[in-house]
Structure 1
Amino acid sequence: MTAAPAPDEVSLYDAIGGEPTFRRLVDRFYQGVAADPLLRPMYPEEDLGPAADRLTLFLMQYWGGPNTYSASRGHPRLRMRHAPFKVDPAARDAWLTHMREAVDSLGLPEPHHTALWDYLERAAYFMVNSME
């Protein structure tokens, strides 16, 4: 599960600055999550650090970086991993609000900004598992 570039193309991972950029993205995202009354309870660990590391490694791998996520956790199985949590449209929208702020904070050039945002938006809609 990776957005591998063609042999003569640069991956989005490399094009936007690699690991430091993905760490900035995820750190900014979790700043919002930490203060969000709807989302914060979905992260049972007291410290959001482990969740932030998992998301960072997943996104880095998906966009062409190292496969550390799969090497340590196996196949992403995103829907299965999120199944224990009620992800309804309100949770999706809250997640997207914080992620939009995080993506926009990076100041990425086009088409990288749109590619990243479009993926994250599709992923958020895919995670919805409750319409209650």
Structure 2
Amino acid sequence: MGEGGDVVGSSFWSEVGGRATFEKLVRRFYEGVRTDDVLWPMYPEDDLEGAIQRLTGFLEQYWGGPGSYSEQRGHPRLRMRHAPFPVTFEARDRWLAHMRVAVDELELSPMHSAMLWDYLERAAHAMVNTAG
């Protein structure tokens, strides 16, 4: 960490533009979710900004950015945090569709885009918790 808590050195997070890139990704993703009749009921309409900040923080920490997500929320425990929600195959596919639009709009290098997409696909598959 450098002065002001910035991450120093090369990481995926810094290579793609840091927090601004991940916040752009997540905000665009949630624009799609807001119009989705399967996904939107699972999100906290009264705390959408909180959800945006949590997902942004998680992703930037995962990709080598600041560790503030774990400092504030502890271990990510993604499956446990998603357990209260019926994450069906359809919900997974819709989540991925909205995330695909968001990733594409970042216009990352092909390598960075492929790396990010590979992770997001694996994470989405791991969150399925009911056949629905």
TM-score normalized by the length of structure 2: 0.91
Aligned 8 A contact 2:44 2:51 in 1:
no
Amino acid at match of 2:49: G
SS at match of 1:48: helix
Which piece of structure 1 moves more, 43-52 or 70-79?
Answer: 43-52
Deviation at 1:76, TM superposition (A): 0.0
Give SS of 2:65's match: coil
What letter is aligned with 1:130? T
Task: Tell whether the 8 Å contact from 2:39 to 2:95 is kept in structure 1 after alignment.
Answer: yes
- d(CA) in 1 for partners of 2:44 and 2:113? 31
Instruction: Name the aligned partner's letter for residue 123 of structure 2.
Output: A
Equivalent position of 2:12 in the other structure: 12
Looking at structure 2, the residues matched to 21 and 53 of structure 1 have their Cα atoms a distance apart, in angstroms, of 13
Cα distance in structure 2, aligned partners of 1:95 and 1:45: 17
**Gaps in structure 1 of 5+ consecutive residues:** 1-8
CA distance in 1, matches of 2:121, 2:110: 17
Which residue is 2:5 aligned to? none
Structure 2 unaligned runs (5+)? 1-8
Aligned to 1:52: 52
1:124 match: 124
Structure number having the greater helix percentage: 2
* Residue in structure 1 matched with residue 6 of structure 2 by the alignment: none
Correspondence list, 1:1-132, <5 A = 10-132=10-132
Q: Match for 2:33: what amino acid?
A: V
State the percentage of identical aligned residues: 60
Match of 2:3 in 1: none
Mapped partners of 2:121, 2:92: distance in 1 = 9
Divergent runs of 4+, >3 A: none
Whether the 8 Å CA contact 2:22–2:59 is kept in 1: the answer is yes
What is the TM-score when the length of structure 1 is the normalising length? 0.91
**CA root-mean-square deviation:** 1.0
Aligned residue pairs total 124
Aligned to 2:4: none
